[in-house]
Homo-oligomer: A and B are copies of this chain.
Amino acid sequence: MIQIAIMGLGTVGTGVAKVVAENAKQIEHKLGEPLQVKTILVRHFKDGPYRQLMTDDFKKIEEDDDIRVVVETIGGVEAAYEYTKRALMAGKHVVTANKQLVAEHGCELLALAKKKNVNYLFEASVGGGIPILHPLTQCMAANRIDEVYGILNGTTNYILTRMVRTGAFFSDALREAQAKGYAEADPTADVEGIDAGRKICILADLAFGHQVDPASVPMEGITKLSLRDVKIAQRAGYRIKLLGRAVRLPGGGRTAYVAPHLIPEENPISNVEDVFNAVVVRGNATGEVMFYGKGAGEMPTASACVADVMECLQASPKREEIGWSADTNGFEDPMELHTRYYFRIEGSLTDAALAFGQVEVLSEDGETAFLTDRISGQDAQQQSKCLNVLACMRVLA
């Protein structure tokens, strides 16, 4: 009998308890012995099926030598950070879905795990139940990873899908997402790109092996996106999607950011709709591979946590060798990146051509929408200075 603890009994924490119970047979078959949730840390006791397992005292977990793995689903930083450190210090493996904690303190927590010869695993923190981090670090280990990009937030993708399909305005699509339970009452972290930003930081950390400080990653959401651009893009054979993107730059540096992009409809990621997520990883040997599925939800995310628990137990006494350098050097502003740019301006094609030379016109009715050649962000900014810019986005090419 292997015993674990769960910290926090929200959606994911409850899901972990459910997966352990519902898939007990599969789990026992793979581990060779049954897996049991012994203790659940909560702030407030609640009645329900797990009442007898609850404690509000972290020491009951910290000091219990029977508990070999702790699943942290508290979320946020403060308590989660404190308890994760103490659990690792106590020689317990820790598994989490907490993207904020991993993005901000993952490097340090992995180093602590290494020192204590235990695992700190967080597959569920990116893409929920879609396997991404293990495939990236293990299956693609023989590659130099040159780029990772993806639709990392289901809420915003649902909103964008509604805008494209039904011509809904952003505010109406957001209300619809809230009514369906896909968006929080306070949707800021989703629609402002912060959630996707934390995830692209974790992907960049693992892909490039250097800490990416979330504070240095520009995060642009979809709140300023106009239905007009959605329509122009669609007519020209593009879809607009909110992408998190991390790129190895030609000079050896690295960058990462979150922003809406125009994506050619031949790219399979342009067809990723509703609350689905997809992550594309480009390796120098493998080329592009895509991982696709529902990126959130109680059971998918929980099952990824439980798989990590099993991984800790199977790998023991060896550790999963993941981790990255705390050195943030080499991180460059995404303005360094050369891409095609989409502009919609109040002005004519002549204005556009005066600023950018030859452009590809997408729409010309009072306003002008066009695509530039591949240029840096600085050049895009500089050359558009004298234009009245209504919208500006990168093109994924």
Report which A residues bind B (CB closer than 8 A).
19-20, 22-23, 25-27, 29-30, 123, 129-131, 134-135, 138-144, 209, 268, 271-272, 283-294, 297, 299-300, 302-304, 306-307, 309-311, 314-315, 317-318, 321
A292 CA to B288 CA, complexed, in Å: 9
Instruction: Judge whether B143 and A23 touch: CB under 8 Å.
Output: yes
Copies of this chain, complex-wide, total 2
A-B contact pairs, 10 of them (CB 8 A): A23-B144, A23-B284, A27-B141, A123-B139, A129-B283, A139-B307, A143-B303, A285-B303, A287-B294, A289-B293
- Set B290, B293, B297, B306: member contacting A142, Cβ < 8 A: B306
Instruction: Judge whether A283 and B303 touch: CB under 8 Å.
Output: yes
A61 CA to B141 CA, complexed, in Å: 25
- Set B268, B304, B311, B318: member contacting A286, Cβ < 8 A: B304
* A288–chain B nearest beta-carbon distance, Å: 6
Instruction: Judge whether B303 and A129 touch: CB under 8 Å.
Output: no
Contacts of A315 in B (CB 8 A): 315, 318
Given A26-B144, A285-B303, A286-B299, 14 further pairs, Cβ under 8 A: A27-B141, A30-B141, A131-B138, A131-B140, A135-B135, A135-B139, A141-B310, A268-B271, A268-B292, A286-B294, A287-B294, A289-B291, A289-B293, A290-B291
Contacts of A268 in B (CB 8 A): 268, 271-272, 292
Contacts of A144 in B (CB 8 A): 23, 25-26
Instruction: Judge whether A292 and B293 touch: CB under 8 Å.
Output: no
Instruction: Judge whether A143 and B272 touch: CB under 8 Å.
Output: no
Instruction: Judge whether B131 and A289 touch: CB under 8 Å.
Output: yes
A131 CA to B138 CA, complexed, in Å: 9
Instruction: Judge whether A299 and B314 touch: CB under 8 Å.
Output: no
Instruction: Judge whether A293 and B293 touch: CB under 8 Å.
Output: no
A285 CA to B131 CA, complexed, in Å: 13
Instruction: Judge whether A300 and B287 touch: CB under 8 Å.
Output: yes
A20 CA to B131 CA, complexed, in Å: 26
* A21–chain B nearest beta-carbon distance, Å: 11
Instruction: Judge whether A130 and B289 touch: CB under 8 Å.
Output: yes
Q: Given known contacts A286-B299, A314-B321, is B292 in contact with A292 (CB within 8 Å)? A: yes
Contacts of A292 in B (CB 8 A): 268, 289-292
Contacts of A26 in B (CB 8 A): 141-144
Residue of B nearest to A35 (CB): B142
Instruction: Judge whether A27 and B142 touch: CB under 8 Å.
Output: yes
Q: Given known contacts A134-B134, A139-B134, A307-B142, is B283 in contact with A287 (CB within 8 Å)? A: no
Residue of B nearest to A290 (CB): B292
* A269–chain B nearest beta-carbon distance, Å: 10
A287 CA to B317 CA, complexed, in Å: 31
Contacts of A138 in B (CB 8 A): 131, 134, 307, 311
- Which 3 pairs of residues, A with B, have the shortest CB-CB distance? A131-B139, A289-B293, A285-B303
Contacts of A310 in B (CB 8 A): 141-142
Contacts of A139 in B (CB 8 A): 123, 131, 134-135, 304, 307
* A15–chain B nearest beta-carbon distance, Å: 8
Which among A26, A271, A284, A302 has the highest number of chain B CB atoms within 10 Å? A26
A317 CA to B317 CA, complexed, in Å: 10
Instruction: Judge whether B19 and A307 touch: CB under 8 Å.
Output: no
Instruction: Judge whether A293 and B286 touch: CB under 8 Å.
Output: yes
A293 CA to B286 CA, complexed, in Å: 9
A288 CA to B284 CA, complexed, in Å: 28
* A282–chain B nearest beta-carbon distance, Å: 10
